[in-house]
Amino acid sequence: MDAEHLRDEIWRIGRQARDAAHALTRLTTADKNAILLAMADAIDESEDLILAENAKDIEAAERADLPAALRDRLRLDHDRVAAISRGIREVAELHDPTGEVIREWTRPNGLRIVKERTPIGTIGIIFESRPNVTADAAVLCFKTGNATILRGGKEAIHSNRAIAIALQQGGEAAGLPPHSIQLIPFTDRESVRHLAEMDKYLDLIIPRGGAGLIETVVSLARMPVIKHYDGICHVYVDKDADLDMAEAIAVNAKVQKPSVCNAMETLLIHRDVAGEFGPRIAETLLAKNVELRGDEGFRETAGFDEILPAGEDDWTTEYLDYILAVRVVDSLDAGIDHINTFGSHHSDSIVTTDEKAAARFQREVDSACVFWNASTRFSDGAEFGFGAEIGISTDKLHARGPMALEELCSYKYLLFGEGQVK
């Protein structure tokens, strides 16, 4: 497809999304929930087609010799399709935040002001690999009355198309406005640029993928971008930590699922407990096949030859693997300074029995989620009780941390008068 035609197609999709966003404002919560259930039914009914299209993506991935982990993320089967359908039904059961009154007050002149949650409008989702993101992103945006433009990676194009068609056709049969959910049907890299420049029709972009994708979108976008950069998460073991608790938290944060963004990548240990805790945690983690990369203080106190020397890059690396950087720090201040210097503002935890130290850590660590005596693995929309999330934002505006339905809303002011003039 030539460049001019590609741009025209993207902008046509944008115009359609803007029209759909307006139509979505007319739906009640009951309407939206009925449409969501129809979408879930359509996914179930389209399972054979979805799996057949997914087989094309898997075959292409094998020909391209993509890594096994990527092929696994791509692969769908009966259970995974059923999970997509089940997830849509769960979203139908979630509380709808649109129309909620955030604040209400009356001015001395009698003018009543209401601050109310509203849909953002049109949201672009740019993502890689996982076909289930097509459904997850679309239905969360729809629940909050937003029209969605999806741009998936080329490795999952057939699967994404099949899922998007099922959602749109199943939803339209139950009253979904046309073009509420649109998938860009081609994977030219230029489509990302055209999408990012389409601020006339697109209110927000959310990139889900690696740092390269996010940096590209940020550099091109003319509208707000909600980012999730690296998950360089820390656990800091304070001098007043319960060491049994510290061991359990550190092991869980690193080992339970190391390939996710809320897994611990750096362990910090106060020097006063390093002599006791260092050998203990090193032995435990090495037995679980974790590769340890320590500073001089940790290597000396832990006493295991298997511990590799840590380099400066290790403090800023998101391993997503059974690899952990460990540093001994002289104080709470040093621990906080390390996290604010090398962390990614995602999720960090302190283990301590000292309430004042915990309060300082939670106040001064500049991260979206700051834990006291708990694993960073709880940094998750479902674990927060949100029911679902579209990602974890490391931004500060307008969403931070697990991004759920409320974060897919904006707000506006409704003003009620009786003829007041200024």
Q: Class of 3-227+400-416 per CATH? A: alpha beta
Higher pLDDT: 47 or 392? It is 47
**pLDDT greater than 80 at residue 356:** yes
pLDDT in the model for residue 208: 85
- Report the 3 state secondary structure along the chain: CCHHHHHHHHHHHHHHHHHHHHHHCCCCHHHHHHHHHHHHHHHHHCHHHHHHHHHHHHHHHHHCCCCHHHHHHHCCCHHHHHHHHHHHHHHHHCCCCCCCEEEEEECCCCCEEEEEEEECCEEEEEECCCCHHHHHHHHHHHHCCCEEEEECCHHHHHHHHHHHHHHHHHHHCCCCCCCCEEECCCCCCHHHHHHHCCCCCCCEEEEECCHHHHHHHHHHCCCCECCCCCCCEEEEECCCCCHHHHHHHHHHHHHCCCCCCCCEEEEEEEHHHHHHHHHHHHHHHHHCCCEEEECHHHHHHHCCCCCEECCHHHHHCCCCCCEEEEEEECCHHHHHHHHHHHCCCCEEEEECCCHHHHHHHHHHCCCCEEEECCCHHHCCCCCCCCCCCCEEECCCCCCCEEECCHHHEEEEEEEECCCCCC
Q: What is the mean pLDDT of residues 323-346?
A: 97
Tens digits of per-residue pLDDT, 157-204?
999 999 999 999 999 999 999 999 999 988 888 999 999 999 999 999
* 106-110, 133-137, 236-240, 252-256: the lowest-pLDDT one: 133-137
Quick one: pLDDT band at residue 228, thresholds 50, 70, 90?
confident
**pLDDT greater than 90 at residue 275:** yes
Tens digits of per-residue pLDDT, 147-158?
999 999 999 999
pLDDT in the model for residue 2: 79
Q: What is the mean pLDDT of residues 72-90?
A: 94
pLDDT in the model for residue 79: 96
Residues 35, 175: contact at Cβ < 8 Å? yes
**pLDDT greater than 90 at residue 259:** no
* 332-336, 349-353, 385-389: the lowest-pLDDT one: 385-389
pLDDT in the model for residue 397: 85
Ranges of CATH 3.40.605.10 domains, the chain: 3-227+400-416
Quick one: pLDDT band at residue 245, thresholds 50, 70, 90?
very high
Ranges of CATH 3.40.309.10 domains, the chain: 233-383
**pLDDT greater than 90 at residue 16:** yes
Mean pLDDT of the chain: 95
Quick one: pLDDT band at residue 4, thresholds 50, 70, 90?
confident
pLDDT in the model for residue 385: 86
pLDDT in the model for residue 238: 98
* 58-67, 95-104, 223-232, 279-288: the lowest-pLDDT one: 223-232
**pLDDT greater than 80 at residue 393:** yes
CATH of 233-383, one of 3.30.590.20, 3.40.50.720, 3.40.309.10, 1.10.287.1120: 3.40.309.10
Q: pTM of this prediction?
A: 0.89
Q: What is the mean pLDDT of residues 298-321?
A: 96
Higher pLDDT: 4 or 294? It is 294
Q: How many Å apart are CA 248 and CA 344, to the nearest integer?
A: 23
pLDDT in the model for residue 336: 98
| Residues above pLDDT 70, as percent of the chain | 100
Q: What is the mean pLDDT of residues 269-279?
A: 98
pLDDT in the model for residue 398: 87
**pLDDT greater than 90 at residue 88:** yes
**pLDDT greater than 90 at residue 69:** no
Q: What is the mean pLDDT of residues 313-321?
A: 95
pLDDT in the model for residue 128: 82
Q: What is the mean pLDDT of residues 92-97?
A: 96
pLDDT in the model for residue 309: 98
pLDDT in the model for residue 70: 82
Q: How many Å apart are CA 344 and CA 367, to the nearest integer?
A: 8
Q: What is the mean pLDDT of residues 44-70?
A: 94
| Residues above pLDDT 90, as percent of the chain | 86
pLDDT in the model for residue 19: 98
Residues 325, 310: contact at Cβ < 8 Å? yes
Quick one: pLDDT band at residue 339, thresholds 50, 70, 90?
very high
